[in-house]
Amino acid sequence: MQNKHHQFGERSETLAAWYLKKNGYTIIEQNYRNQLGEIDIIARENKTIVFVEVKSRRSTRYGSPKWAVTPKKQRKISMVALYYLKTTKQSNVKARFDVVSIYANQDEPQIEIVKNAFELAY
């Protein structure tokens, strides 16, 4: 049985995938995992592979969700992304890191895609 926090996270990732599709992204994988960690969504926008971190909050008490992708988290996502590109033989493909920020304390969630949210960090 999942707790409310985990269920909120899953709903947020589903909402983020829907929003990305609505904005022209093609979803390749969700919840991609390897021995180094996890990436919430791997998508394609035009010819670019996009590694997407989803952050959501019910309140703005601690600021916008997009600011929760810390340098440590950026390094972890970067390592997982590099491994993904290497193992799928796409090391020469254009790639970037986006963040989908969801503020969900209202009837209508506020969703923002932050393109190129951070650079490769390792």
CATH of the domain at 93: 3.40.1350.10
Structure tokens at 48: 């670019």
To the nearest 10°, report the CA torsion of 59, 64, 65, 66: 170
Q: Are 62 and 48 in contact (CB under 8 A)?
A: no
pTM of the model: 0.92
CA atoms within 13 A on the CB side of 70: 2
pLDDT tens figures, 3-28: 877 788 788 999 999 999 999 999 99
Cα 84 from chain centroid (whole Å): 15
pLDDT at residue 27, rounded to an integer:
98
Residue 25 burial (CB count, 10 A):
22
Residue 14's domain comprises 4-118
> What's the structural domain count of the chain?
1
pLDDT tens figures, 63-110: 788 888 999 999 999 999 999 999 999 999 999 999 999 998 777 889
